[in-house]
A and B are shown apart, each in its own frame.
Chain A
């Protein structure tokens, strides 16, 4: 592809100069009030309770609000609820903001909140329901117009965190609405910064500013989202001036974009942390053999010294700089820095191939062993290269490593069936106790523990601490327990942390965005700059 650094766009020049000289004052405000965003994935439904996938949630946030919100760094901040507290370990009180009205003018009341919390369980045929965020609530009470009491079956600390995922819809508009009514905009009545204007499935969505919104007034009169799923067309739409902002900038084009004076980049560390899950339950793991290809009599991955050796063998800084083109930072935790429960006492394991060999010898593998590691090839930034690089690092300390990467559609199913010995996973969550429950908790499908614990790691101490954190309704106490649980699990190398991904947005000159830890692109947080 040719270079496209600061090419003059839109001929002819003379009329443009004239326009610039004569009408700049008159034209600029009108131009500045519209925003066009290129999204990287399709929004499948506008019903905010239909399916729990990121593109749909990102769009819902423009139309609707939640009781509790998370800011750009992942901290919980008041949304429609001005304040909340636990009255008892099983009862929470949420005080609603006064004077909030929906875009159709009806005031928000506790009735709408209760209705919205009930609704996810009534949605039929959703492949990814929101019920995991409402299941804990056994009783909802509208005490008065602006007070809601929520009861849980047992003490449950993360309730406010769960509620950042449940959008509050207007009971009046949504009560008898079908999914189709949401897609036509009829039932799409919210309290958020924008209101619905048009939806062309798979193509574009348009919204206009909601003048009745209670919060900060967005700069844009009108925002249009275009679905530009492939990287190259998304980028060319930006360079051609057809959109002002794009998310998910293709990694390969970043270096060149940095030298383009018409484009600015915004980057943010995201919650998405990548780590390796190791088979820790089988005595003979399917992809671990001796160098001749025969099964070993015991599973080396169960030995802490082997896990430590593997962790020391990986040069995370080199991985991040080379294979990830700087689009990640080395990880020591399984949550990103700054996230609730992040344990900063745990440091990134230093690259130490000598130490790794020594540990392997101590564990009885002076010549290493053979291993096949698995990963995706279409899910995370440069994921295939990441898997290959780690295989090279392991080879250097004597673990002869083969690589097998697959599309995520086939990979997840096999990984969840515990078919692999050493497999890559990326996880995004806003609380360490949540992550640990799914990744390092002893698997128990009935309770939802260890649902993505592919290696079936099991440690009673971790389970106990995580359970304690989840039951703590006092945030400080909960964070202390979560941090301790993370410390225990990571010292034991329940998983081997690799890196935290960065997210990148590209904006045309004149636009600015700070980025978000949850990777979302919010029009109401994009600003114009001179």
Chain B
């Protein structure tokens, strides 16, 4: 186990290093932020002063070297546009994205597993067929369109829910959270539903096919033959066995929920990190883009680590050995 964790840690550091290099060189190639930001009437002296202050007068490898040296000390640089540390800027917005992603995940899991189970147990019933047909819609409708429709119906026509934004926040542990009050839940409902739709469809289909497969397995037949109550067969034997693929997928999808909530965030004016990333890319705010992507890589690796550990807990056959870790 320790060896497994160590190995994982080393891999993470490697990935972070490669990622930082790719992103840094990539965004360097896109354009020079000075062209976007320095006053057009500025003289050469002015431009040179700004370039020197921001370190943009150096060749790219010197800039990267400086970045790396600072990063090792935990300093990912200051946002050009905001004038505050890039990491702090992202961490300030992270709670908003986390709240959105967790809410979406809860919707996907709490609705998806029961619905998928139902459809798996009664594949030929009208309700089962309806669920499966509905899940196809969840896959195929584009997020931005569904988001706009949700706003049109629930905010513009009915006026039940706010059209966007996050509602009032409360400070806990130095971060601002909105889901501590009813107003926050009103605000998160539409964007979370929008973000959850695709994952919901995914969970339904995974659970449904897993259930159908499990029902044909020998252990289910034996359990039936033994006279176990159907409730126990489904609740313990079937459910536990179909959870492994579901957990894998949900775990990885949680990463994408955080990293790619951009569309939902911009439709619902949700002040999360996705929106920050978009703004930063358009204005070439290099430090923020680099810091953001590094953070996402870190989150991804952590999530897959958690998934691996959960695996071992669910399936005793899986061992977190040093050599052949999953």
Contact = CB atoms under 8 A, between A and B. Distances in A.
B151 A236 contact: yes
Interface in A198-222: 200-204
Given A53-B37, A127-B81, A229 B266 contact: yes
B84 A179 contact: yes
Interface residues of A, number: 65
A88 interface: no
A333 B46 CA distance: 29
Interface stretch (B11-19, B114-122, B160-168, B196-204): B160-168
B156 A4 contact: yes
Nearest to A41: B279
B30 interface: yes
A131 B275 CA distance: 30
B283 A409 contact: yes
B40 A438 contact: yes
Interface string A116-149: 0000000011111111100100000000000000
B82 interface: yes
Given A10-B159, A203-B271, A409 B84 contact: no
B269 A228 contact: yes
A273 B270 CA distance: 33
Number of contact residues on B: which range applies?
Answer: 35 or more
A130 B30 CA distance: 26
A233 B268 contact: yes
A203 B30 CA distance: 27
A15 interface: no
A408 B36 contact: yes
B44 A229 contact: no
Interface stretch (A300-308, A317-325, A443-451, A486-494): A443-451
B194 to A, nearest CB: 12
B282 interface: yes
B193 to A, nearest CB: 16
A364 interface: no
A4 B269 contact: no
Contacts of B92: 201
Interface in A2-42: 2, 4, 7, 9-11, 42
Contacts of B30: 409-410
A416 B35 contact: yes
Interface string B13-48: 000000000000000001111111111111111110
B177 interface: no
Given A236-B156, A409-B284, A445-B44, A229 B162 contact: no
Nearest to B160: A11
Contact of B165 (A51, A127, A242): A242
Interface of A: 1-2, 4, 7, 9-11, 42, 44-45, 47, 50-53, 124-132, 135, 179-180, 183, 200-204, 226-230, 232-234, 236-237, 239-242, 378, 407-410, 412-413, 416, 427, 434, 437-438, 445-448, 451-452
Given A131-B49, A132-B46, A232-B148, 9 more contacts: A44-B81, A52-B39, A125-B78, A127-B37, A202-B279, A229-B275, A240-B156, A409-B31, A413-B32
Q: Please list the 4 inter-chain residue pairs (A to B) with the smallest Cβ-Cβ separation, ordered nearest first.
A: A448-B43, A203-B271, A445-B44, A240-B155
8 contacts: A124-B53, A200-B176, A201-B82, A227-B271, A228-B269, A240-B156, A240-B162, A413-B31
